[in-house]
Amino acid sequence: MTDVREFWVAGQLETAEETFEVRAPYDGSHLATVAVTSPEQTERAVAAAVAVGPALAGLPAHRRSAALAHVSRRIAERADEFAQLISNENGKPLKWALAEVGRATSTFQWAAEEARRWSGALQRLDTDPNGEGRMAVVRRFPRGPVLGISPFNFPLNLVAHKVAPALAVGAPIVLKPAPKTPLSALLLGELLAETDLPAGAWSVITVPDARMPELVADPRLPVVSFTGSGPVGWRIRESVPTKHVTLELGGNGAVLVAADWSSPEDLRYAAERIARFSNYQAGQSCVAVQRVYADAGVHDELLAEIVKAVEALRTGDPRDAATDVGPLIDLASAERVEAWVDEAMAKGAVLRTGGQREGTTYAPTVLTGVPADATLAREEVFGPVLFVESVADLTEGLARVNDSQYGLQAGVFTHDMTTAFRAHRELEVGGVIIGDVPTFRADQMPYGGAKASGVGREGLHAAMEDMTVERVLVLSGLDL
């Protein structure tokens, strides 16, 4: 068999007879033929993860840190190669693919640093008479091997957010990348293979989605870290109630522009950020801007600026460095976005710009007057579409942001710290971004949602805690 991309079983390249095709979303061109990991090979990957567990957990911190730092350096050295691959398999414009590579570099570097800081805590127990002479050592240990399931929209950095924290705490990981975008994860395997991590510490397997329930149910994988669609994520959690499952399931990102954000410069800035981060991945980001609520005093001017900024975005071939907005991941996704916009307009929404589909590409779109019962108002569009509505005041604006089954992140444009702290207190989301859109994410900060947006947190230290369990050691007879 020639020209077939191999996968990684316990750190070693392997192939198989069954294959699938990976094609570019923009034009459908062939990118690679990838071998499908067989059930027997999957079993060996899981068994190897279990077998190496004690050795990996006991590996000195400096060795785990060095391996992660090596991967970070090598991603940076091969940045252009990774970016081209991301752009090809995902359809992400090259400028944003390069940004993703930069983030993955930081994610592994943060993991390397956290691995050195992963020390636990001391707690003196002589605060009560019966604790005299006693000290507690509180440390965290891996729950066991991790099953990481990553999505198509960030085929490198969301893989990094599974692999890096697992290895940082000494937990083996079996990674299943999205079938539409496995190439970046397979290339990452080359860099992991350059380290001295023990065999079985990691595998990257190309298992079809139809076989995912078997992996999820495997009792030898007590941690499941899933990023993807809500229905799939909640089914996973319900199917394995005794496992530790973390879910990052998306949202319908809201922005609130407060009355004090009113100067022409303020409104142009907000409009540019809203336009860019509703569309930068063709809207295929869990925290892309979808809903915009503007105080009545600034609504009209803001809307005009948003339309202008959206129309300035260039749509086209993601491999062109000048392209701002590329295609959706496949034709079905583009047709779904088109159907949702058409439905909203049939119910009375007004099209301000965009609204056209050409193959897998959908033009960046702005709507107003979207009724509350439209699918676009209630669900995650995961496409280059936003709508703008006027609110009477801050109270109504916060309520409109909260009127959603989702709660990942929200952006609030305000200069008023009282407003900022009120938003932080009242908004039912995992993160509130002041002075910017909800799309902002620093990879080291805790990241996750409330309500239907999931459970658990990404971000290196937060994910490391999710993958581990506290264990207390009490020392007695001490002269404190």
Report, as residue numbers or ranges, the catalytic residues: 248, 286
Q: Is 391 exposed, middle or buried (0-12, 13-18, 19+ CB in 10 A)?
A: buried
Strands 385-391 and 365-368: parallel
The H or E element spanning position 299 is helix 299-311
Distance CA 279, CA 283 (A): 5
Strands 244-248 and 223-227: parallel
Strands 357-358 and 406-407: unpaired
Distance CA 74, CA 301 (A): 47
DSSP class per residue in 220-268:
T--EEEEES-HHHHHHHHHH-TTSEEEEE-----EEEE-TT--SHHHHH
Render the burial of 254-278: b for 16+ CB within 10 Å, e for the rest: bbbbbbbbbeeebbbbbbbbbbbbb
- Local structure of residue 450 (DSSP, 8 states): E
Distance CA 316, CA 318 (A): 6
Distance CA 310, CA 23 (A): 28
Distance CA 165, CA 153 (A): 20
- Scanning 78-200, the segments in alpha helix (DSSP H) are 79-90, 94-117, 157-169, 183-193
Strands 146-149 and 223-227: parallel
Collapsing DSSP to helix, strand or coil, 69 comes out as helix
For 133, phi then psi, to 5°, come to: 80, 15
Distance CA 432, CA 445 (A): 12
Q: How many CB atoms lie within 10 A of CB 34?
A: 22
- Local structure of residue 325 (DSSP, 8 states): B
Q: Which of 310, 278, 308 is nearest to 292 (CA)?
A: 278
- Let me know: does 210 contact 248? Beta carbons within 8 Å: no
